[in-house]
Amino acid sequence: MKALIGLGNPEEKHKITRHNTGFLMMDEILRAHSVSLSDKFNSYFGKKGDVLYLLPKTYMNLSGNAVLELMNFYKLKNTDILVIYDDATIEFGTFRLKKNGSFGGHNGIKSIINRIGTDKFDRLKVGVGPVPDRIPIDSFVLGNFSKEELDGVIKMANKSIEVVDCWLKDGIEITQNKYNGKVI
């Protein structure tokens, strides 16, 4: 089994914020894969075949709680998950896939690392940056996308479908080679 995990915050007021990019990408992936969600693992959860879909309702800073619960229930290894999330240090419209690494200042990733006990899991970092001068990063990522950016978000979400399909079929290395870089 493999798990696709999108990070975000569950309240409606967060729906189109930069920090909800993982949820926004997953919305399109779920639509493309014809997956409906239910409440399980303190998350929005879906399963189709041998693929699990998880959007934690724990809020970003406690994402690891839901991820650990899913991994324990399905006996997943850290190499069985792909976490999709925003990265304000990467240029808007850019994807960066990684096999492991530090949390890089992202509290959702920090929570997952702390809860599952390793930083060795696959990630799809979706660029939402750069952060404008004189704006604190927290304010920036919790801010809504502009109208102009929303068109790009839709394009990135559509491209994320290709990325996860490649990851599910071919693994991280091939997916990195095909999709790392500017996608829109």
Partners of residue 73 on adjacent β-strands: none
What pLDDT score was predicted for residue 83?
98
Following DSSP, what letter does each residue of 69-113 receive, concatenated? HHHHHHT--GGGEEEEEEEEEEETTEEEEES----TT-HHHHHHH
Instruction: Give the relative orientation of helices 172-179 and 147-170 as an angle to the nearest 10 degrees.
Output: 140
| Catalytic residue set | 19
Residue 78 · residue 27 · CB < 8 Å:
no
What pLDDT score was predicted for residue 88?
97
pLDDT of 14-71, one tens digit each? 999 999 999 999 999 999 999 999 999 999 999 999 999 999 999 999 999 999 999 9
What pLDDT score was predicted for residue 92?
98
- State pTM to two decimals: 0.98
Task: List, in order of start, the domains of the chain with CATH numbers.
Answer: 2-182 (3.40.50.1470)
Q: Please state, in angstroms and rounded to a whole number, the distance separating the CA atoms of residues 9 and 32.
A: 22
- pLDDT band at residue 102 using 50, 70 and 90 as cut-offs: very high
Q: Please state, in angstroms and rounded to a whole number, the distance separating the CA atoms of residues 126 and 146.
A: 16
